[in-house]
C-alpha cells in the first residue's frame, strides 16, 4: 500500500498514544478515518485533531475491543458507511504487571480480553472487508515482548506472543490464497505513552513506582516516531516492524543468546527493577 490518500483506515485505541499518533499521521496523508477507543473523551479529541489536519472524513465510536459482538457489528457498519476498508490497525492495548503467582484471574482475563481477544476480534471481523477492498492491509500491534519475555510480564508476554503468531499465520494464509491483503506484525519497544500509568498491578507491586520506572528508563520513543515507522512498514509491505532502538537491540541480543537471554534478563532485573511492596 504505497499511498494512504483516500484510503479508509480503521484504528482501535485511537484516543491516545500510538493510536492517536497513527490517526493524525493518516489524517495528514488524506485518509478517511474510522477511529475507536473506550475513552470517549480522548477519542473525541483525536477526532477533532484529525479533522483539523484535513482528514476528508472522520468517524469516532466508543468501542470495547473485548466485546466480540460489538466489534463484529462495528466492522460491518464501518464497511457500509465508507463503502470499503483498506487498512486496519488493531492497536488497543493494556498492561498488567506482577509475578504470575501474585496475579488475580480477574486481571488476567481483562488483559487477555483486550490484548489478545481484542486483536483476534478486530482481525476476524475486518479481514473479509480487507479482502473485498482489492487493496487491503492488516496491522496488528504486538510488542518487543512478543519477541522476548520479561519477568513480571507473563500475561502481557502471553498475549503479545499470541498476537505475533496469529498475525504471521494470517499473512501466510493471505499469500497462499492470493488475497490482496498485506499483513504486518508490529513490535514496539518502550514508547512514551500512558500505558504504564493506566496499568493494573498485583497486590505486591507498587503501581506508581512501576509506572515511574517505565517512564524514566524504558520509554524511549515518541508515539509520533512510532507512527511514522509503522506506516513506513505498511508502505513497504513489511511482514515485521520493530519500533525503537531498544527493540532492535534487545531482539538482536535475544536472537544471539538464544534461550540464555532469560538468565541475563533475570540477573539484570534483580538489580535494576523497582522493589516489590514490603521487600
Catalytic residue among 74, 156, 161, 261: 156
Contacts of 191 (CB under 8 A, 6+ apart): 17, 18, 219, 220, 221, 222, 223, 226, 243, 244
The residue written with cell numbers 499470541 in the block is 162
- Eight-class DSSP state of 275: P
Q: Report the C-alpha gap between 50 and 279 in whole angstroms.
A: 47
- Eight-class DSSP state of 72: H
Contacts of 279 (CB under 8 A, 6+ apart): none
Q: Please name every residue paired with 89 in a beta bridge, in sequence order, or none if there are none.
A: 11, 139
* Active-site residue flag, 156: yes
Determine the 3-state secondary structure of 150 from DSSP. Answer: coil
Nearest to 163 by CA among 186, 182, 132, 136: 186
Give catalytic residues, as residue numbers.
156
Amino acid at each position: 500500500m504505497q499511498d494512504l490518500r483516500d484510503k479508509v483506515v480503521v484504528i482501535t485505541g485511537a484516543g491516545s498514544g500510538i493510536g492517536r499518533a497513527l490517526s493524525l499521521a493518516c489524517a495528514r496523508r488524506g485518509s478517511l478515518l474510522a477511529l475507536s477507543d473506550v475513552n470517549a473523551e480522548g477519542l473525541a479529541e483525536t477526532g477533532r485533531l484529525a479533522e483539523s489536519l484535513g482528514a476528508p472524513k472522520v468517524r469516532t465510536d466508543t468501542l470495547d475491543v473485548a466485546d466480540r459482538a460489538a466489534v463484529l457489528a462495528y466492522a460491518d457498519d464501518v464497511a457500509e458507511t465508507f463503502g470499503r476498508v483498506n487498512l486496519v490497525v488493531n492497536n488497543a492495548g493494556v498492561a498488567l504487571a506482577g509475578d504470575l503467582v501474585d496475579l488475580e484471574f480477574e486481571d488476567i482475563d481483562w488483559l487477555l480480553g483486550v490484548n489478545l481477544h481484542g486483536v483476534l476480534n478486530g482481525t476476524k471481523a475486518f479481514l473479509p472487508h480487507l479482502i473485498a477492498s482489492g487493496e487491503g492491509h492488516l496491522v496488528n500491534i504486538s510488542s518487543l515482548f512478543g519477541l522476548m519475555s520479561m519477568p513480571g510480564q507473563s500475561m502481557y508476554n502471553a498475549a503479545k506472543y499470541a498476537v505475533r503468531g496469529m498475525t504471521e499465520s494470517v499473512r501466510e494464509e493471505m499469500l497462499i490464497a492470493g488475497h490482496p491483503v498485506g499483513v504486518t506484525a508490529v513490535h514496539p519497544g518502550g514508547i512514551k505513552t500512558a500505558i504504564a500509568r493506566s496499568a493494573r498491578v498485583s497486590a505486591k507491586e507498587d503501581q506508581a513506582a512501576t509506572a515511574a520506572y517505565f517512564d524514566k528508563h524504558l520509554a524511549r520513543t515518541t508515539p509520533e516516531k512510532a507512527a511514522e515507522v509503522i506506516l513506513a512498514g505498511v508502505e513497504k509491505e513489511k511482514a515485521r516492524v520493530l519500533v525503537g532502538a531498544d527493540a532492535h537491540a534487545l531482539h538482536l541480543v535475544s536472537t544471539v543468546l538464544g534461550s540464555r537471554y532469560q538468565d541475563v534478563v533475570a540477573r539484570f532485573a534483580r538489580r535494576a527493577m523497582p522493589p516489590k511492596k514490603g521487600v
